[in-house]
Amino acid sequence: MNTIKIFIISLFCTLLHAQMSGQAFKLEELARFNQLTMTAFKTEIKTHQYTFYDKTESPVFILFEYDSPGYVYKIGKFEYTEEKSQDNIEFQFKDKKEHDAYIKTMLAAGYKQTEKGKIMTGEMYVDYFKNRAQIRMVYPKTARDSYTILVFK
């Protein structure tokens, strides 16, 4: 009887930890988030138990950022005031296995690697295109930094 109690308690704790550690999103979900208005995005991201992190405003864009439970992931939505085609979702994570899974999923979905380069802060990036859809993978400078996926309209 005690063995069953210990098993049930450990199972409960494991499930609770998995729920609290955050949620990664599929590429389709990230693309869908990019199609939402900022108001709809805020509402949707809160249903995933992400919490508000920061808001950045400039004459060029507005950015809202949210943290996952457990601070494992960070997601942000950029809305540009003039060039709406630059609107994008930015999703950050630290795990190399997740990075490899995203790359595998993109290639299987028909995305093709098109360009490599460096962003202004010096991180390397690789662009992938499929029809008019663009995804940019930004690689961390150091192991302590995050991988980033940018999904453009």
Tell me the DSSP string of 111-141.
Answer: -EEEEEEE-TTS-EEEEEEETTEEEEEE--S
Question: In this structure, is residue 13 part of a structural domain?
Answer: no
Question: In this structure, is residue 69 part of a structural domain?
Answer: yes
Sign of the C-alpha dihedral, residues 69, 43, 87, 82? negative
Question: In this structure, is residue 146 part of a structural domain?
Answer: yes
Residue 50: closest CA among 33, 28, 62, 35: 33
Question: In this structure, is residue 47 part of a structural domain?
Answer: yes
Residue 89: closest CA among 72, 73, 100: 73
What's the average model confidence in pLDDT over 59-75? 94
What is the band of 1 on the pLDDT scale with cuts at 50, 70, 90? low
What's the average model confidence in pLDDT over 78-90? 91
CB burial class (10 A; 0-12, 13-18, 19+) of residue 63? middle
Is 30's pLDDT higher than 50? yes
Containing structural domain, residue 94: 22-152
Question: In this structure, is residue 123 part of a structural domain?
Answer: yes
The confidence score (pLDDT) of residue 60 equals: 94
What is the band of 77 on the pLDDT scale with cuts at 50, 70, 90? very high
The confidence score (pLDDT) of residue 61 equals: 94
Question: In this structure, is residue 34 part of a structural domain?
Answer: yes
Is 121's pLDDT higher than 50? yes
The confidence score (pLDDT) of residue 11 equals: 33
Q: Which residue has the higher pLDDT, 53 or 14?
A: 53
Number of structural domains in the chain = 1
Question: In this structure, is residue 65 part of a structural domain?
Answer: yes
What is the band of 8 on the pLDDT scale with cuts at 50, 70, 90? very low
CB burial class (10 A; 0-12, 13-18, 19+) of residue 133? middle
Is 95's pLDDT higher than 50? yes
Is 138's pLDDT higher than 90? yes
Question: In this structure, is residue 1 part of a structural domain?
Answer: no
